[in-house]
Amino acid sequence: MLRFPLLHPELIGALAAAGHGARVLLADANYPHSTGVRAGAARVHLNLRPGLVTVDQVLEVLLGAVPVESAAVMAPSGAAGDVLPAGARVPAHAGYRDALAAAAPSATWQDLDRPAFYDAARGDDVALLVATGDQRVYANLLLTIGVRQV
């Protein structure tokens, strides 16, 4: 029996296969799950129904399972197709910042506009996409796995 709350076999396997510097995308329900990461990235679908599970719920469990070095979020830039105006506060991001501050206080934070976020999420270092049912706009979170401190 595992001693931490992460029980999903595919998720545990994908995290175990990823190492320092690998990235994990926690994607909201609006994200293009089939095309939004490189072809070889593992995909774990936790999007049971709209609103279940959320990125916050997955983040809470992942922070107990892997060290996080950095985080990047999709932020509105004012470009065509943006749902929010440039510079608008994204409610989902506040919870991510709080969770990271508590569990990984040295983790860096980066806001990326939508095209830059998609480019980063399709990078060769993305090992895993976790599809959620999160309905909030700009609720995508790209984590970089850090080094485990012994």
> Is the Cβ–Cβ distance between 142 and 121 less than 8 Å?
yes
Query: 115: helix, coil or strand?
Result: helix
CB atoms within 10 A of CB 139: 25
> Is the Cβ–Cβ distance between 72 and 110 less than 8 Å?
yes
How far is the C-alpha of 90 from the C-alpha of 68, rounded, in Å?
21
Q: Which residues are catalytic?
A: 20
Query: Pairing relation of β-strands 68-75 and 126-131?
Result: unpaired
CB under 8 Å to 105, separation ≥6 — which residues?
A: none
